[in-house]
Amino acid sequence: MIIQLKANPDEAIVTALTKRLEATPATVIRIKNHMAIPELSHVDLTPAEAANVTEVIEKTPAAVLGSRLFQPEDTIIELPHSIIGGKGHFTMMAGPCSVESEAHLRKMAKVAREGGATILRGGAYKPRTSPYSFQGLGEAGLKYLREAADENGMDVITEVMDEDHVDLIAKYTDVFQIGARNMQNFSLLKAVGKTRVPVALKRGMAGSIDDLLNASEYIAAGGNHQIMLLERGVRTFDNKYTRNTFDLAAVPVLQKLTHYPVIVDPSHAVGVWDLVTPMAHAGVASGASGMIVEIHDDPEHAFSDGPQALKPDTYKKMTKEVFEMRRLMDSWEA
Amino acid sequence: MIIQLKANPDEAIVTALTKRLEATPATVIRIKNHMAIPELSHVDLTPAEAANVTEVIEKTPAAVLGSRLFQPEDTIIELPHSIIGGKGHFTMMAGPCSVESEAHLRKMAKVAREGGATILRGGAYKPRTSPYSFQGLGEAGLKYLREAADENGMDVITEVMDEDHVDLIAKYTDVFQIGARNMQNFSLLKAVGKTRVPVALKRGMAGSIDDLLNASEYIAAGGNHQIMLLERGVRTFDNKYTRNTFDLAAVPVLQKLTHYPVIVDPSHAVGVWDLVTPMAHAGVASGASGMIVEIHDDPEHAFSDGPQALKPDTYKKMTKEVFEMRRLMDSWEA
Amino acid sequence: MIIQLKANPDEAIVTALTKRLEATPATVIRIKNHMAIPELSHVDLTPAEAANVTEVIEKTPAAVLGSRLFQPEDTIIELPHSIIGGKGHFTMMAGPCSVESEAHLRKMAKVAREGGATILRGGAYKPRTSPYSFQGLGEAGLKYLREAADENGMDVITEVMDEDHVDLIAKYTDVFQIGARNMQNFSLLKAVGKTRVPVALKRGMAGSIDDLLNASEYIAAGGNHQIMLLERGVRTFDNKYTRNTFDLAAVPVLQKLTHYPVIVDPSHAVGVWDLVTPMAHAGVASGASGMIVEIHDDPEHAFSDGPQALKPDTYKKMTKEVFEMRRLMDSWEA
Amino acid sequence: MIIQLKANPDEAIVTALTKRLEATPATVIRIKNHMAIPELSHVDLTPAEAANVTEVIEKTPAAVLGSRLFQPEDTIIELPHSIIGGKGHFTMMAGPCSVESEAHLRKMAKVAREGGATILRGGAYKPRTSPYSFQGLGEAGLKYLREAADENGMDVITEVMDEDHVDLIAKYTDVFQIGARNMQNFSLLKAVGKTRVPVALKRGMAGSIDDLLNASEYIAAGGNHQIMLLERGVRTFDNKYTRNTFDLAAVPVLQKLTHYPVIVDPSHAVGVWDLVTPMAHAGVASGASGMIVEIHDDPEHAFSDGPQALKPDTYKKMTKEVFEMRRLMDSWEA
C-alpha cells in the first residue's frame, strides 16, 4: 500500500499514523511525500489523517527504495575512475573470469584498459558448481586485483560469496558483485547492505524481474543505495547452443521500474566466445548503462570459463564498436 | 551420417552406394560432394566405395539442405521490391497485426513505406488463442493487402494457417508466414514446401534451435529453398512484464548453422509498445537480416494485439535509428 | 463477461439483449441460465434487462463450453468397449508408438488387452521432428489398427495431423488424437470439431493450462463436446534425464476448471522406459481418468520412440499395480 | 574420470599415482576400489599403474560421494524417532510454515504427530522474497520447536539460511533444511558439511538434477554424508494455477543416480491447499522416501504461506491415504 501525502502534511499526524501502522505490525517506509507499507493493502483513515492524504494505492512495487515512483531520477554511482548510470555514461568492465596469478592479471588489466574498460573484473572467490573445481586464490587474488587496477587507473569489481568475507573484500574492491546463485542469499544481501560499498547484483537463473527488485531492496533497506543490476541470462529449455537465454528486454523493463543502473553481461549469457560480440552489440543497443565481459589471452588454459572469454584483439574490436554504437545512440537523444 | 566424397568421384559407385543405403531404408541427400543420410550413423564401406570417400561424419545436422556445411554462402531471397539476406541488405517489414479494412490498410501501408519498410505485413487469417476472438477478413483481406502493397511499391507477407488456403493465398502474397503455433504443423510445412513462394518460418514458443531447423527442412525437402527464419521470443517463466523472452542470441547461433536469412520480430517478443524500440535496436545490433514490426494509428481500437503496435511517429523514429545502426555496422565490415 | 440470468427469464428480452451484444460484434454463448460473452468485459443494461439478470461477472473462463461453472457434472465419453470420465472409471490405452506391420500390431494389441487396456493406440500418420524420419504407414496402418482392435474387443485411438485426413481416419478410429505440436493448429481443431468422433487433445510443449482449455474450445465450438485432455509433459530447462517435465498438478487443476476427462501419458512425459512405471503410479495417484502408454516387444528395433516403450511383462506388472492403486483410491471415496 | 582399480591393488603404486594426479593439480577421491578425479578426463598410465587398473571411464558423475556407482546401497538416516531412506520406511514431516508462537506450535505439533508425522517442521529463520515480510522468531522459535517435538516424541527439521547460525541451530534441530534459494550458496553448504547433523537439501527453482547432485557433493565433501534431497517444484512458464511445476520424475531419476533418500514437498510445489492432497498421493506413488507438508489450523491468518497449508482434518485424511498407498506399494515389492 502506498499512502500519498499532501504537500507539507501535518507531521504530527503522519508520525502518529506511522506508529499506528507499525504496531499492526508492518514496515512503514517514508520517501519524501510517500509512505509505503509493503505488507498492507488497506487502512481505514481517520478524518484528520485523510485530510493529509491525497491518495492511497493498494499495491506496493517490488522494490520500494529502488522504485521510479518515488525517485524518478537515475541513481548515479561515482567511483574514482568510473561513473555508472545516468545519461551520457557507458561503463565497460572487463577482466579474466578468475584471478590466476599476479603476472597474468597485470597483463589482462592492461588489455582491459586499452579496450576502454575503467573497471577491472576478476574472481578471487569463485562459486563453482562442483566442489572439486578451482575455488579461487582468496585474499592473494584480491591483492593482485587492487594492484593491477591501481597500476592502470581502474576500479575493481569482484564477487563476494560469503558474509564473513564482506569486511575483507571491502578493503580491496570498489564494487561488490553478488553472483546469480546468491541473488536470494538474503543473509549476504543484508551484510553488503550494511556497508557503503556499491553492489552489482546479478539476476538469478530463475529470477523474475520482481525477484531481482525485491533482492535489491534487501540491500537498500540496510542503507546502501549504491546498487546496479546485472542481466546475465536466465535458464530456459534453450540450452544446447548457449549457456543461458540473454533476456535483453529486461534492460528497458528494469529501467522503467527502477532508477538503478542496469548492466549487461554477454559472456555468461551465451557462454561461447564467438557469440559475445553480437550480444555485446545487442546489449549496448538495448540501452544498458554498461557491460561486463570476460577476457583471456589463452582461453584454452583458463582456470574457469575459458570458452566464453574474448581474446585481446577480439575484445578491443568489440569495445570500439560498442562505444561507437553508444555514441550513435547518444546523438539521437541530443 | 555424412559421407564426404572425393573430388570427381566415380558416379557409378556413388549411385550404387546410394541405392544400397536407400534400401536399408534410409533417405540419402546429395549436395555437391556430400551425401547426408540423417537416419544412419554408420556404414561399412567396400574398398571400392572407400576409395571414393574422404571422410564419414557420424552426426547429421538438424537441417541438411539449410546447413552451412554444404552451402557456406548466404541464401538471398529476391522479391520485386526487396532483397532479403546477404551482406549489405536490411529489410524492414511493417503493417498492422490484422487487416481491418481497405481504407485502414492503405493508410498503414503508406506509413510503413514512409518508415522504410519494403514489405507490408497484415493478417487476413488470424490464429487466435480463443475461438471467439476476431479470426480475420479472409480473402477480402488478401485483396486489400495486395492493392495497398502495389500502391506503395511494396511486397506482401501474410500468414497461412491452413494447407487448403495455400493456393489461394499464393495468388496474393509474396511471402508466406508460418506462425509460431504452426512451426511443427508438418502438413502445412509440406504444403508450402511444394510451392515456390518464399516462406518466413516463425520459431515456436517452445521451439529449440534444432526444432526450428528441422521444421525448415520440411519445407526445403519439398524443393522450396526460399526460406527465412523468424525469432519472435520464446516462452519462459519470465512473463509478467513481457509476453515472451526475446532470444536474440538465436540470431548469431542460427547464422552459424544455416545460410537462411534470420529476421527478428520485436513486437511479438515483448508485447508492449514502449519496449519495441529498444528491442528493435537490439535486434538490428544482433546482426539480423531484417525486422518485422506491427504498427497502428489507433492502437486502443486495434482488432488484435493493440498493446504492442507502434504509432506512426514512433515507428518512423525507430526505423530511422535502426537503419542508422545498420549503416554503422556495415562500416565495420567494409 | 458472464451474464447470469434469473430463473425463468423473459426470453424475449434475453433474445433482444443477445442480438444487441452480437452486433457490437461479439460472440454470445448461452448455456442454461448463463450468457458468456468472451470478448466483452462490460455492458450497460437497461432496467428491463437488469430485471432479468442476477449477476454480471467481468471475466470469462478460458473454455466456456468446457467450464465447470456452467456444467458441474463430469463429461463421460462412452465407446463400445470403454467409458472415459466420471467416478469409478479408469481407462487404460496402450499400444506401440507407430503401427509397424499387421502382424506386429496384432501381437501388441493382444498384450495391451491382457494388461487391461480397452483402447488400442498406434500411429499411422506420425509427426516427426525430421522430415527424413519414418512418417507412418498411412491408411494401411489404420486398417491394421481397426482389425487388431476388433479382434481383441478394443477401441482405437490414433493421431490426425491433417484436416484433409479427418474423414478418412474417422472411418477407422474411435478417438482422434491431436498431438502436442498441433495443440494450436486451429484449422485442425475446427475440422475435428465438426465431426462427432471423440477427441483426445494433447497439451503442447509450451501450452499453458489456459491455452489447452482455449484449444479445447475450438473443438467444442464446432459442436463436438466429446473431448478429453492429455497431460504429456511440458518443455523446461530440465531435459537431460527426461524428455519433458511431467506436470501432474495439471490433473487436479484441470479437474477443477473443466468437466472433460483428464488422461496422463507417462511415456512421452519421461521418454525413458524405466521411469514409466513410477510415473504411471504417480499419474493414477494424481486422480487422472485414464492413461496412455507405449509398449513394444523389441524396443531396440522400434520404428519410433523405442527408448520409452515398456516390454510386455513390465507393462502388465505396471497396469496391475495401477488398477490396484485406483481401487484403493475408490475405497476412499466410497 | 574414474579409474577402476583391480581387487587388492598394489597400494604403493596407487598412492604414487594419486600424488601424481593431485599435483596436476586435481582432486582424487578414493571410494573402495574406485578413484574419481572430477577435473580430469584422461591420464596416461605407466605399465605398472595399468597393471593395477581394470578400466578408465572418461566421465565422472555429478556427485561422486553420492553416486550409486560407488555405493549401490541406500543411505539410511537414523534419528531418535525416524528412519529416512531404505526399503520399508516412509517418513512424514509436517508442521506450520513459520513458528508463530509457543502455544500455536504445540497445537500444530500434536496435529502433525496424530497424522503420523515423526518429524516436526517449522521456520524460525525465514527466507522471504521481500525484506519487509515476517523474517521469523529466531532462537525463540528454535526453542519452541525443540520443546514441541520432544513433547510429542518427534524429531525437528528447520531451515538454516546463514553459516553463522549453523552452530546455534545445531543445538536445537535434528535435521538442517537448506532452502531452494540457497541450493547453490556454497559457503552455507560447506558450513553444514562440517557438522554431523543430517541435511535436507532442497532443489533450487532452476536447479537441474546435476546441479542438485553437485550441491550435495559440497556437503558430502566436508564429511557429512547424512543427506536427503527434496523435490519442491521448479519454475516454469506454467505458473498461473500453481506456484511451481512439481517435477515428480526427479524422484526415480535421483534414485537411479544417488543413494541419498529423496523427499517430496507437495505444499511448496503447488502453493494451493486443495491441490496438496492429490500431489501428496502422486508424490508417495512416485516412490519417494518421505514427504514434508505444511499445516495450519487457521490458514487465513498464517504468518506465511497460508494458502498452501492443510487444515488438521484434511491433513489427517491425506496422511492416512498416503500411508495406505505406501503399504500397497510395499506389498508389490514383498
Interface pTM, i.e. ipTM: 0.95
Backbone phi, psi, residue A293, to 5°: -135, 155
**Residue A266 domain flag:** yes
Pick from C236, C275, C283: which is nearest to D252 by CB? Answer: C275
The distance from CA A319 to its chain's CA centroid, rounded to whole angstroms, is 20
Query: Any idea which residue has 587388492 for its cell?
Result: D8
**Chain A residues lying within 8 Å of D186, measured CB to CB:** 127-128, 131, 161, 181
Interchain pair C130, B162: CB under 8 A: no
Q: How far is A249 from B242, CA to CA, in rounded Å? A: 8
pLDDT given at position B226: 98
Predicted pLDDT of residue C255: 98
| Mean pLDDT of the region D75-80 | 98
Under an 8 Å CB criterion, which residues of A touch C?
235-237, 239
CB contact under 8 Å between B239 and D236, yes or no, is no
* Contact between chains at A187 and D218 (C-beta distance less than 8 A): no
Answer whether A184 sits within 8 Å of D129, measured CB to CB. Answer: yes
Please list every residue in chain A whose beta carbon sits closer than 8 Å to the beta carbon of residue C245.
none
Query: Subunits that touch chain B (at least 3 Cβ pairs < 8 angstroms)?
Result: A, C, D
Is B286 within 8 Å of B253 (Cβ atoms)? no
CA C133 to chain centroid: 26
pLDDT of residue A88 exceeding 90, the answer is no
How many domains are there within chain C? 2
Q: Tell if the CB–CB gap between A287 and B269 is shorter than 8 Å.
A: no
Residues of chain B with pLDDT under 50: none
Instruction: Give phi and psi for C212, each to the nearest 5.
Output: -65, -45
Q: Mutating which of A129, A237, A243 best tests the C interface, going by the most C Cβ atoms within 10 A?
A: A237
* Chain B positions in Cβ-Cβ contact with residue D235 (cut-off 8 Å): 237
Per-residue confidence band for D24, with pLDDT thresholds at 50, 70 and 90? confident
Nearest CA in chain B to D205: B237
Cβ–Cβ below 8 Å for B236 and D239: no
Which residue intervals of chain A are DSSP H helices?
Answer: 11-22, 47-50, 102-114, 139-151, 166-170, 186-193, 209-220, 250-257, 266-270, 273-285, 312-333
Residues C205 and B208: beta-carbon distance below 8 Å: no
Report residue D262 as a C-alpha cell. 529423496
Contact assignment for B241 to A328 by CB distance below 8 Å: no
pTM of the model: 0.96
- Averaged pLDDT for residues A105-130: 96
Which candidate from D208, D248, D284 shows the least CB-CB separation from C248?
A: D248
Residue C72 lies in a domain: no
Neighbouring chains of A at 3+ CB pairs within 8 Å? B, C, D
Write out chain B residues lying below 8 Å of D239, CB-based.
Answer: 237
Residue from D129, D161, D163 whose CB has the most chain A CBs within 10 Å, to mutate: D129
CA distance A10 to chain D (A): 26
The chain A residue lying nearest C244, using CA atoms, is A237
Cβ count within 10 A of residue A125: 24
CB-based contact A253 B247, cutoff 8 Å: no
Kindly list the residues from chain C whose CB atom is less than 8 angstroms away from the CB atom of residue A237. 235-237, 239
Q: Percent of chain A, pLDDT > 90? A: 92
Residue of B236, B269, B281 lying closest to A285 (CB–CB): B281
Q: How many angstroms separate the Cα of A16 from the Cα of each of A42, B210, B308, D94?
A: 17, 63, 46, 41
**CA nearest B67: which of B204, B219, B256, B198?**
B256
Contact D157, D123 (CB under 8 A): no
Contact residues for A44 (Cβ-Cβ < 8 A; gap 6+): none
Residue D307 distance to chain B (closest CA, Å): 21
Closest-approach residue (CA) in chain D for A304:
D39
User: Binning pLDDT at 50, 70 and 90, where does residue D21 land?
Assistant: very high
Residues A210 and A282 in one domain: yes
d(CA A230, CA A227): 10
Asked if residues A36 and A29 have their Cβ atoms less than 8 Å apart, the reply is yes
Q: List residues in chain A touching B: CB distance below 8 A.
A: 206, 208-210, 234, 236-238, 240-242, 245-253, 256-257, 269-270, 274-275, 278-279, 281-287, 321, 324-325, 328-329, 332
User: Do B124 and B227 share a domain, yes or no?
Assistant: yes
Of D236, D278, D283, the CB nearest to C236: D236
Write b or e for each residue in D70-87: b if 16 or more Cβ atoms lie within 10 A of its Cβ, otherwise e.
bbeebbebebebbbbbee
Identify the pLDDT of residue C16: 95
Residue C177 CA to its chain's centroid (Å): 7
Domain holding B109, by residue range, is 77-333
Rounded to whole angstroms, the Cα distance separating C107 from C315 reads 14
Q: Write out chain C's pLDDT in tens, 334 residues.
A: 999 999 999 999 999 999 999 998 889 999 989 999 998 989 999 999 999 999 999 999 999 999 999 999 999 999 999 999 999 899 999 999 999 999 999 999 999 999 999 999 999 999 888 898 888 999 999 999 999 999 999 999 999 999 999 999 999 999 999 999 999 999 999 999 999 999 999 999 999 999 999 999 999 999 999 999 999 999 999 999 999 999 999 999 999 999 999 999 999 999 999 999 999 999 999 999 999 999 999 999 998 889 999 999 999 999 999 999 999 999 998 7
- Report the chain A residue with the minimal C-alpha distance to residue C237: A237
Paired residues of B156 in beta bridges: B120
What number of residues does chain B have?
334
Q: Between vectors from CA C68 to CA C64 and to CA C71, what angle results, nearest 5°?
A: 85
Task: Report the residue from C161, C184, C205 with minimal CB separation from B127.
Answer: C184
Residues of chain A positioned with their CB less than 8 A from the CB of B208? 237-238, 240
pLDDT at C133 (0 to 100): 87
Residue C25 has what pLDDT? 84
Q: What pLDDT is recorded for position B56?
A: 94
Q: What is the CATH number of the domain that holds A179?
A: 3.20.20.70
Please state, in angstroms and rounded to a whole number, the distance separating the CA atoms of residues A47 and A59.
22
User: Mind telling me how many Å the CA of B13 is from chain C's nearest CA?
Assistant: 23
C14 and C140 assigned to the same domain? no
Residues D195 and D81 in one domain: yes
* pLDDT for the residue B134: 86
Among B39, B127, B131, the residue with its CB nearest the CB of C132 is B39
Backbone angles phi and psi of A72, in degrees to 5: -70, -30
B287 to A275: CB separation less than 8 angstroms, yes or no: no
Query: Shortest Cα distance from C269 to chain A (angstroms)?
Result: 15
Q: Which residue of B has its CA nearest to D245?
A: B237
Same domain, D113 and D261: yes
Indicate whether B67 belongs to any domain.
Answer: no
A241-296 confidence digits (pLDDT tens): 999 999 999 999 999 999 999 999 999 999 999 999 999 999 999 999 999 999 99
B-chain CB neighbours of C210 within 8 Å are 129
Look at residue A191 in the predicted model and tell me its pLDDT: 97
Which residues have CB under 8 Å from D190's CB, separation 6+? Answer: A131, D163, D218, D219, D222
Let me know whether D25 and D106 are in one domain: no
- Count of all residues that appear for chain D in the document: 334
Give the neighbor-by-neighbor strand order of the sheet with D29-31.
D29-31, D34-36, D2-5, D53-57
Taking the C-alpha atoms of residue B330 and residue B325, their distance in angstroms, rounded to an integer, is: 9
Question: For chain D, which chains pass the contact test of at least 3 CB pairs under 8 Å?
Answer: A, B, C
CA distance A237 to chain C (A): 4
D51 within domain boundaries: yes
What's the pLDDT at D333?
A: 83
Instruction: Identify whether residues D110 and D139 lie together within a single domain.
Output: yes
Domain-located, residue B63: no
Contacts of D29 in chain A (CB under 8 A): 132
Q: Is residue D146 part of a domain?
A: yes
Residues D180 and D39 occupy one common structural domain? no
% of chain D beyond a pLDDT of 90: 92
The verdict on residue C67 lying in a domain is no
pLDDT given at position A78? 98
Closest partner residue to A217 among D131, D187, D234, by Cβ? Answer: D131
How close A236 comes to chain C (CA, Å)? 5
Asked if residue B121 and residue B43 are part of one domain, the reply reads no
A211 closest CB neighbour out of D62, D129, D161: D129
Task: Look up residue A137 and give its three cell numbers.
Answer: 586464490
Residue C204 CB coordination number (10 Å):
27
- Per-residue pLDDT, A25: 84
Q: How far apart (Å, rounded) are the C-alpha atoms in residues D119 and D175?
A: 9
Asked if B97 and B136 sit in the same domain, the reply is: yes
To the nearest whole Å, the CA of D166 is away from the closest chain B CA by 33
Residue D334 pLDDT more than 80? no
Q: Are residues A96 and A175 in the same domain?
A: yes
Copy the grid coordinates of residue B34: 556430400
- In contact, A125 and A136? CB cutoff 8 Å: yes
φ, ψ dihedrals at D62, nearest 5°? -55, -45
Residue of A nearest to D237 (CA): A236
Question: Is A72 within the bounds of a domain?
Answer: no
Which chain A residue shows the shortest CA-CA distance from B333?
A321
Q: Where are the beta strands (DSSP E) in chain B?
A: 2-5, 29-31, 34-36, 53-57, 77-78, 83-84, 91-95, 119-121, 155-159, 175-178, 199-202, 227-231, 262-264, 290-294
B43 and B82 both lie in a single domain: no
Query: For residues C34 and C14, what is the distance between their CA atoms, to the nearest angstrom?
Result: 11
pLDDT value of position D54: 95
Helix axis angle for A102-114 and A312-333, nearest 10°, is 40
Which of C135, C141, C156 minimizes the C-alpha distance to C102?
A: C141
pLDDT at A133: 87
> What was the pLDDT predicted at C333?
83
Name chain B contacts of C133, Cβ cutoff 8 Å: 38-39
